[in-house]
Structure 1
């Protein structure tokens, strides 16, 4: 075997696991398709800031720098991840796109990449859950003159032409983008048949995540009664939704489109110059040639462990707890998985390391 462990993905989950494996002396490599650590964060919209303050945004072993009660922006997070990888000398192989992970002929896995082929005893998929934009079929009915962008491709209001903009999706991303467009003077319609409960960013003089941390909310399991309730409700954090709804038109579910007009459930109709689809993502692992995905393409796992020996996931929403996909809490899952990997390794022959 070339390596004991290959980590697919050099974002916060992969880096946190790498830190723990480095401390345990496990030979590993982190494979990432981007040209620099943190690049995925730089692809988010320009004004993005985290819900979590800096005191709750660090990975294991390196606190997030700056005002601990302030909220870091997109580029700050990207810079922090790059510093983290450098600080711990993590073996991140940049520009290394994984094209196939399949069972190896002699056990373990064969990993094909844009830089060559590796054999590994274990593979951890830490590529996140936000892969392929989920865009409704009705989008294809809109005329070419209507500008369309998924929230993953939205950068700032100036990239959208015209005055009348429809934002589809009532989650945190949808309401944040709608607010930014309204601030820019656009006439905004928000297609949000349902909105989750609204939580203030601060309560009784403390950031809401301070309360979440103290109350154990971020450690709630997906099987717990309260965990299931929170996951189903998808709370909106920090946005003045009541104020936003005074500045935008709230409309129903999009059911049809023709030309530059969109129809909504209940019979409403609206002309639009642009549409932002804040409609989430679907899982997409075309390179994973191991039978661990369900019919929708999502991984079948429990706390990151699949039924296929040696194959794991890390960083999925609600993988072990409410905080599993949150920057400041993914390190907890990484520590648990690293302990499992270290224990498994003690029960197997040692493998040689390959320099990154």
Structure 2
């Protein structure tokens, strides 16, 4: 084998795992398609800041710099991740896009990349869950002169033409973008049949994440009753929803489109110049040629462990706990997985892969 472990993805999950594998003496590489560490953060919208204060944003072994009670920008996060990789001299291979992960003929895995082929005993998929934008089919029915973009391509109000903007989606991203557009003089409609419970950024003089940390909320198990309830609610954090709804028109679900108009579930119509689809993402692993995906394309696992020997996942929302995909908490999952990989490396030889179904 060329390597003991290949980590696919050089974001916070992959870097945190790399930190622990380096300490355990495991021979590994982190593969990332971007040209710089942290570029996935740099590509997000201009005004994005984290919900979590800096005191909770550090990865294992390196505190996040700056005012511990302040909230970092997306560019600060990107620069921190680059500094983290350099600080621990992590073997990140940049510009190395993965095109195939498949079982090796002699066990382990063959990993094809844009820069060559690797062989590894284990593979950890740490590429996150935000791969392919989910855009409803109704979008195809809008006239070509209507500007449409997914929230992942939104940067700032100045780049959006027209005055009448429809933001579709009532999660944190949708309400934040709708608020920013309204602040810049756009006539905004927010298509959000449901909006999760609103939580203030600060409560009783403390940041909400200070309370989450003290109360153990970020360590809630994905399997617990309370954990399942919170995951289903998808709370909106730090946005004054009542104030927002005084500045934008809240409309119902978009069910159809015709020309420059969207048709709503209540029978109403809305003319639009631009639509921002804040409708989330769908899993997309076209390069993962191992039978661990369900009918929707999502990986089947339990706390990041798949049924295929040597294939693991890291950094997915609610993978183990509420904090599994959150910058300052993903290190806990990384530590657990690193210990498992180190133990497996010491105690067991590489197991032959099961036969691939025909």
- The TM-score range, normalised by the shorter chain, is over 0.9
Taking the aligned partners of 2:268 and 2:243, their CA distance within structure 1 comes to 23
Report SS of the residue matched to 1:59: coil
Taking the aligned partners of 2:88 and 2:291, their CA distance within structure 1 comes to 34
2:109 is matched with which residue?
A: 109
Report SS of the residue matched to 2:149: strand
Taking the aligned partners of 2:274 and 2:349, their CA distance within structure 1 comes to 58
1:142 is matched with which residue?
A: 142
Aligned length, in residue pairs: 350
| Structure 1 position 247 matched with structure 2 position 262 | no
Tell me how large the CA RMSD over aligned residues is: 0.7
2:355 is matched with which residue?
A: none
Q: How does 1:3-14 map to 2 (within 5 A)?
A: 3-14=3-14
Taking the aligned partners of 1:349 and 1:325, their CA distance within structure 2 comes to 31
| Structure 1 position 185 matched with structure 2 position 207 | no
| Structure 1 position 314 matched with structure 2 position 302 | no
> Unpaired segments of 5 or more residues in structure 1?
351-356
2:129 is matched with which residue?
A: 129
Taking the aligned partners of 1:232 and 1:26, their CA distance within structure 2 comes to 38
2:25 is matched with which residue?
A: 25
TM-score (norm 1): 0.98
| Structure 1 position 64 matched with structure 2 position 87 | no
Taking the aligned partners of 2:106 and 2:181, their CA distance within structure 1 comes to 55
TM-score (norm 2): 0.97
Taking the aligned partners of 1:198 and 1:206, their CA distance within structure 2 comes to 16
Q: How does 1:296-307 map to 2 (within 5 A)?
A: 296-307=296-307
Shift of 1:349: 5.3
- Write out per-residue CA displacement over residues 3-49 of structure 1, whole angstroms, 9 at most, x where no aligned residue: 00000000000000000000111000000000000000011000000
Taking the aligned partners of 1:336 and 1:343, their CA distance within structure 2 comes to 11
Taking the aligned partners of 1:162 and 1:114, their CA distance within structure 2 comes to 40
Taking the aligned partners of 1:22 and 1:248, their CA distance within structure 2 comes to 50
Taking the aligned partners of 1:154 and 1:52, their CA distance within structure 2 comes to 22
2:271 is matched with which residue?
A: 271
1:48 is matched with which residue?
A: 48
1:73 is matched with which residue?
A: 73
